[in-house]
């Protein structure tokens, strides 16, 4: 009587737990690999997402974190000489983040480390594609 069996909601809760569990596994994987390069997990994630010049806000979006946190992380990377904050070409409010030569090189090494022993290795390629489709549908368009 206290629990009107609502299997729909229960399944959704379990699903939330699973998503979080996998995210944690991924985070831990990144932590260990990044540690081998003297980076924290957040720094590695930032480096991973730096596919090209971008703004602080864009990086924060890619990292799924708050802009204030991106500031904190980029501070560290800049201090290590891996990233530069340049003036944005068209918007003086914004900063243009650019990888230094050293940063680009470290990024390549990081990406190589991250691909081996991935937490997603348990899924076949077409399953990964299916997972990607589902996740993209679950996440509302920006």
Partner DNA sequence: CCAGAATGTTTCTAACTTGAATGTTTCTAG
Partner DNA sequence: CTAGAAACATTCAAGTTAGAAACATTCTGG
In the complex, the residues that contact DNA under the rule CB under 7 A are: 24, 28, 31, 40-43, 55-58, 64-76, 85, 88, 91-95
Pick 48 or 76: Cβ nearer a copy of itself: 48
Q: Which does 36 bind (CB under 5 to 8 A by kind): a copy of itself, DNA, none?
A: none
Per the CB < 8 A criterion, the answer to whether 43 and 76 are in contact is yes
Which residues between 8 and 27 bind a copy of itself (CB under 8 A)?
8-9, 11-27
Nearby residues of 25 by Cβ (< 8 Å), 6 or more positions away: 119
How far out from the chain centre does Cα 58 lie?
A: 12
Tokens linked to 10: 């229960």
- Which strand (E) or helix (H) includes residue 61? helix 56-63
Per the CB < 8 A criterion, the answer to whether 103 and 83 are in contact is yes
CB of 64 to a copy of itself, least distance (A): 4
CB of 86 to DNA, least distance (A): 10
Q: Which does 87 bind (CB under 5 to 8 A by kind): DNA, a copy of itself, none?
A: none
Per the CB < 8 A criterion, the answer to whether 69 and 41 are in contact is no
- Which strand (E) or helix (H) includes residue 85? strand 83-87
CB of 114 to DNA, least distance (A): 16
Pick 20 or 87: Cβ nearer a copy of itself: 20
47/40 Cα distance (integer angstroms):
11
Residues engaged in binding a copy of itself (CB under 8 A):
2, 6, 8-9, 11-27, 30, 45, 48-49, 62, 64-65, 104, 108, 111, 114-115, 118-120, 122-123, 125, 127-132, 134-140
């Amino acid at each position: 009587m206290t629990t009107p069996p609502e299997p729909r909601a229960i399944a959704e809760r379990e699903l939330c737990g699973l998503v979080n569990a996998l995210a944690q596994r991924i985070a831990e994987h990144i932590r260990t690999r990044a540690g081998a390069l003297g980076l924290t997990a957040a720094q590695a994630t930032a480096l991973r997402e730096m596919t090209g010049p971008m703004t602080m806000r864009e990086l924060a979006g890619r990292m799924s974190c708050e802009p204030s946190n991106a500031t904190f992380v980029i501070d560290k990377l800049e201090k290590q000489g891996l990233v530069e904050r340049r003036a944005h070409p068209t918007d003086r409010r914004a900063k243009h983040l650019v990888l230094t030569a050293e940063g680009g090189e470290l990024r390549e090494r990081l990406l190589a480390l991250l691909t081996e022993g991935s937490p997603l290795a348990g899924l076949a390629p077409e399953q990964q594609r299916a997972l990607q489709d589902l996740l993209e549908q679950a996440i509302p368009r920006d």
